Amino acid sequence: MAVQLGVLVPTREAVMSGRMETAPLLTMAERAEAAGFDSVWIGDSLTARPRHEPLTLLAAVAARTRRVQLGTAVLLPVLRNPVVLAHVVGTLDRVAEGRIILGVGIAADNPPIRREFAAAGVPWDRRIGRLLETLEICRALWTRDHVSFSGKHFTLEDVTMEPKPHRAGGPPIWIGGSGPTALREAARWDAWFPTGPSVEFFAEHFPAIQAAARAAGRRSDAVLGAAYVTVALDANAGAAEQRLNTFLETYYAAPAASIRARQATYAGPLEGCVAWMQRWIAAGCQHLMIRFAGGDQLAQVEETASRLLPRLKG
């Protein structure tokens, strides 16, 4: 299988810079499809890192595109009621005619995100259990009728949801993160989708995830390897490094070095980026989602489509 390449629509950056209009974001998604990218992605946050609501915006992107897969990178399901989430995503998959990918995560532990959970009425110390139950409920409601569920956090009795998603069984669920929960749960779902911290970490842990899937009776290729990477391209390596560091510090309000220790990042010329991404592919990564570190997003879509995609796709 040839590697697939996606691009993140910069909803967070748009809000940070005071550009609330959705038209430029939709235009970028259209351009990404026309340029040959395989997928378009949107991130999620309520208050910690304000941005447009991803499922709503993906519905608009679905109406403006025909081919690209449309994903969340990543959604925080625990901030939503599981039955409502299953209904919204099921309808979204109908709008997109089966092109939705549900990338999910549990969120990093920092004060703004804890305040976000409090604002949504979600106990921080229950987030992992709520996430796992939410995913089980969504898959059940997408798959069958008369669903009953009894968990520590949610209880359902004889619930049927219509319409079910366009794709049988619902959208694939990609598990984001690189912590113990993500490494354990990825084998149960459809993909492992970490943001890092490195290709070496990916190469070490992805085979173990695949082995766990096989041990559970699944096919060897049941779990896809994917990665969320942040890229600053510039022929001047120093300028690329400065742009990446400035982007990360502005985005996260934290030292760039601490973010780069946890996330997969590249700064430098395009040729070096090709070699770096080829290492991910060699490690088993089949889908790379690119977040551009600031700059002219449309120009970078065009540049990577014309110069990077052909090199990686053969």
Burial track 234-253 (b if 16+ CB lie within 10 A, e otherwise): beeeeebbebbbebbeebbe
- Residue type at 303? E
Q: State how far Cα 30 lies from the chain centre.
A: 19
224 SS3 class: strand
The pLDDT of residue 220 is 79
- Quote the CA–CA distance of 133 and 140 in Å, as a whole number: 11
- Asked if 61 and 29 count as a contact pair (C-beta separation under 8 A), the reply is yes
pLDDT at 43 (0 to 100)? 98
For residue 78, whether the previous peptide bond is cis, meaning omega lies within 30 degrees of 0, is: no
Which helix or strand (DSSP H or E) is residue 231 part of? strand 224-233
Strand, coil or helix: 178: coil
The domain ranges of the chain are 4-313
The reported pLDDT for the residue numbered 191 is 99
Query: Residue 117 corresponds to which tokens in the numbers above?
Result: 């959970």
How is domain 4-313 classified at the architecture level of CATH?
Alpha-Beta Barrel (3.20)
**Mean pLDDT in order along the chain per 10 residues (314 residues):** 94 91 98 99 96 98 99 98 99 99 95 97 97 99 99 99 98 98 97 98 98 94 98 98 98 96 98 98 98 96 97 90
What pLDDT, on a 0 to 100 scale, did the predictor assign at position 53? 98
pLDDT of residue 292: 98
- Amino acid 314: pLDDT: 76
- For 265, which DSSP code? E
Question: Rg of the Cα trace of the chain?
Answer: 19
